Amino acid sequence: MMRNSSPAVMSAIQGLKLHRPTLDPLRKRLKKKREQLARLTAEIEEIESELEQYAYPVHTLPKEIISFIFQHYVPTAPRRASLLHRWSPIMLGHICRAWREIALETPRLWSSFSLVITPKSKMHRILKIARLFLERSAPAPLSFALICESRSRTEDVESMLKLLVSHISRWRDVSLCLHPLPQLSFIQGAMPLLRSVTVVSHKSGGTLVRLLDRPSWSPTESFKLSPLLTRVRLSFEIDSYSESIPWNQLTVVQLEGISFNTLVGILRESDAMVHCRVTIAPAEITHQDELNFKRLPMIHLPYLQTLLLLSWFHLRHDPLRLPPSAHDSRGRITCLKLRLPALRILELSENMLGSNPVNALAALIARSGCALDELCIRDGGRSLMEPYEDAFPGIGKIRFGRLDEDERVRGVFGDRYQEWEDEAAAEVYWDGD
């Protein structure tokens, strides 16, 4: 066929061959790009290798140090972490697998918690999580708060209490806010680690309310089998179990709404008491009662430094009402022969000092030989401050009012409601009634 081609065709073909673009430059460019890609790939691999070998500083710490830091994450008594909300140790396990393993291997991380029971609580879920905390915390001492909203089912409260009592040998700092008060007689067994116990009956709007119904708490030896117990706070009628409390070993005592007669009996047994805060319930003190008080031997409290004797605060719906003749009969401290040589802070209602409060107070100070740093007189609006200042020039601070917000007092007794400040508790409890 080429032989038959005309000279014109042959000339055209030769022209196309001469003008065909060469591919060599393209091949060179392609080769260059591949070399660049290879270098970039090598750099990427090198960077990835460095990233794989890099360890965050926190991951270079020994497990013991991380565990120690974790223990400072959760709050300590009187504040405690809720089971699932903020500050719960469960949150630490959500960060990474390594932290979860460390958290699970730290018993003290699970030994402080707050339990909240409401009428709508899913008890099977709460009990399951509580068992989890109790298992993971073993064998560490337990610090817990049990808060039961009003109208909670009694069987729910008792089931939780029984679960906690099964670990009673590990109880250290215990707070119970129960309403209504369930059967407490099943709290049995030695508590060798117990240091502090709080049992309050109810709160309404942040104020403690003492109920008239007494707890079914038969005398038990459990608290007397607690050699480390030194702090007690109680807020309901205590006559039914006063014999169960080892008053002679307590150093810090807070009693809400007790009768003056009961207080006298407690003071006679509390040789080791250092700080005492009492709200006295309204009850008529008869003339015969005063005579009986005066016949008692001297009540000597050698270590008592802080004494706050307060009147009970009433709410409109508080079932505890004042007897008609009890408005000015909260108990006369002048009926007692008290000797308080270590007393430094004293607060009491003026009517507790009788008709001549300045002289009664002077007699108490002279008999005790104490050097008061601070004196606070409640209900002092009926008299002037000058007579106190003139009679006691050696007292550093004299005032009318209250010491509850004073930092020194709060440092001793703590915030009265701090132990219930868990977020979950605040959410469901303060809105109770």
Give the pLDDT confidence of 336-357 residue by residue, as tens digits.
889 999 999 999 888 888 788 8
332 vs 116, higher pLDDT:
116
User: pLDDT tens for residues 82-91?
Assistant: 777 777 888 8
Instruction: Give me the pLDDT at residue 20, please.
Output: 55
Please give the structure tokens belonging to residue 91.
């949150």
Average pLDDT over residues 232-256: 80
pLDDT in tens, 14-46: 665 555 567 788 888 888 999 999 999 999 998
Quickly tell me which residue has 């673009």 as its tokens: 21
Which band of pLDDT confidence, cut at 50, 70 and 90, is reported for residue 416? low
Whether 151 and 433 have beta carbons less than 8 Å apart is answered as no
pLDDT category of residue 326 using cuts at 50, 70 and 90: very low
Give residue 182's pLDDT: 53
The DSSP element (H or E) to which 359 belongs, if any, is helix 357-368
> d(Cα 129, Cα 141) in Å, to the nearest integer?
18
Give residues with Cβ within 8 angstroms of 297, minimum separation 6. 337
Pick the more confident residue, 183 or 44: 44
Q: Which residues, listed in sequence order, are joined to residue 397 by a DSSP beta bridge? A: 374
Question: Out of 18-22, 119-123, 183-187, which region has the weakest mean confidence (pLDDT)?
Answer: 18-22
- What percent of the chain clears pLDDT 90, i.e. is strictly above it? 22
CA distance 210 to 257: 7
Q: Which residue has the higher pLDDT, 189 or 412?
A: 189
Backbone angles phi, psi at 288, to 5 degrees: -65, -35
Average pLDDT over residues 381-398: 81
Confidence class of residue 205 from pLDDT cuts 50, 70 and 90? very low
